[in-house]
């Protein structure tokens, strides 16, 4: 496609998103909170079409059924699987588990894990820079009969990586989709490595591919209302960082297209 036709397509899609698309609850939420904000991802995970009038709900259903969002829901399922595997390994080794998600949003996947281990010594603390999503997660957890704690924190600020007791499992979902420099990813993973005890686990996702990355970036905004700048990562680079820091990959799961690998790594 030449640049003129691409520009026409992008302008047309933007117009649809800004007008008719706003009848869709999902597209409206993406416009308000950001395309991949924690709130938006929680809506995608929930996967219940909604909107104004019949047309809004229909548009929302089409939106939620997009292959990209299907991949994201598979990522969520793989997050749950990897966290549960880490929980079981930790329960075997020490009898209790503390989980910390460094940039959680409403963290529906963490709540699901807590539900699955209800009655066992498994606890979770959510951390995020936006207290709204932490409070919402607390309310969702309470409604589902589980408890969690939360703390407002910046996932790249060393001062916010203070713990009375070190977590056994640290989680970062979708966090590295926003950084195009290796130094920032390395810094984040170093902070996580330093916060874990020896033998602790790190569960995280990486965006290694996308069905329409360039188009998506040009049409939608991020959670700061800036033009979306999602990136993809070469898994060789990610694996090299993990090895350099002292992590060993225990298991990696991904959707069929390999767009969203979810890794479970252990601190050696």
pLDDT in tens, 232-242: 889 999 999 99
241, two tokens: 């960082």
Mean pLDDT along residues 251-255: 95
Give the global pTM: 0.86
State which H helix or E strand residue 129 sits in: none
Structure-derived torsion over alpha carbons of residues 221, 226, 227, 229, reported in degrees to the nearest 10: -100
Sheet holding 149-152, edge to edge: 149-152, 122-128, 97-101, 169-172, 201-205, 262-267, 247-253
- The rounded distance, in Å, linking the Cα atoms of 139 and 146 is 10
| Domain over 69-267 is classified CATH 3.40.50.150 | yes
pLDDT in tens, 27-84: 888 777 766 677 777 788 888 989 898 898 998 898 888 888 888 899 999 999 999 9
pLDDT in tens, 109-149: 999 999 999 999 999 999 999 898 899 999 999 999 999 99
- The rounded distance, in Å, linking the Cα atoms of 209 and 216 is 13
Which of left, alpha, beta for 44 (phi over 0: left; psi -120 to 50: alpha)? alpha
DSSP category for residue 185: H
Domain edges within the chain: 3-66, 69-267
Q: Given the structure tokens 């007791």, which residue do they identify? A: 165
């Amino acid at each position: 496609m030449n640049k003129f036709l691409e520009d026409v397509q992008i302008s047309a899609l933007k117009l649809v998103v800004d007008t008719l698309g706003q009848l869709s609850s999902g597209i409206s939420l993406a416009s308000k909170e950001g395309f991949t904000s924690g709130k938006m991802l929680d809506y995608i995970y929930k996967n219940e079409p909604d909107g104004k009038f019949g047309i809004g709900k229909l548009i929302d259903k089409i939106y939620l059924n997009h292959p990209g969002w299907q991949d994201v829901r598979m990522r969520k399922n793989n997050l749950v699987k990897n966290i549960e595997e880490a929980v079981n390994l930790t329960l075997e080794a020490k009898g209790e588990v503390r989980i910390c998600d460094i940039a959680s949003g409403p963290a529906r996947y963490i709540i699901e894990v807590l539900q699955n281990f209800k009655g066992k010594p498994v606890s979770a603390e959510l951390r995020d820079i936006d207290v709204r999503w932490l409070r919402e997660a607390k309310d969702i957890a309470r409604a589902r009969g589980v408890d969690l704690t939360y703390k407002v924190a910046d996932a790249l600020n060393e001062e916010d990586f203070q713990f009375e007791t070190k977590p056994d499992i640290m989680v970062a979902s979708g966090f590295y989709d926003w950084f195009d420099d290796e130094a920032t990813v390395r810094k984040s993973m170093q902070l996580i490595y330093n916060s874990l005890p020896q033998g602790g686990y790190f569960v995280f996702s990486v965006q290694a591919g996308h069905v329409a990355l360039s188009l998506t970036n040009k049409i939608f905004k991020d959670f700061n209302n800036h033009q979306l700048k999602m990136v993809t990562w070469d898994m060789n680079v990610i694996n090299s960082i993990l090895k350099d820091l002292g992590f060993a990959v225990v298991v990696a799961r991904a959707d069929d297209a390999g767009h969203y690998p979810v890794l479970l790594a252990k601190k050696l």
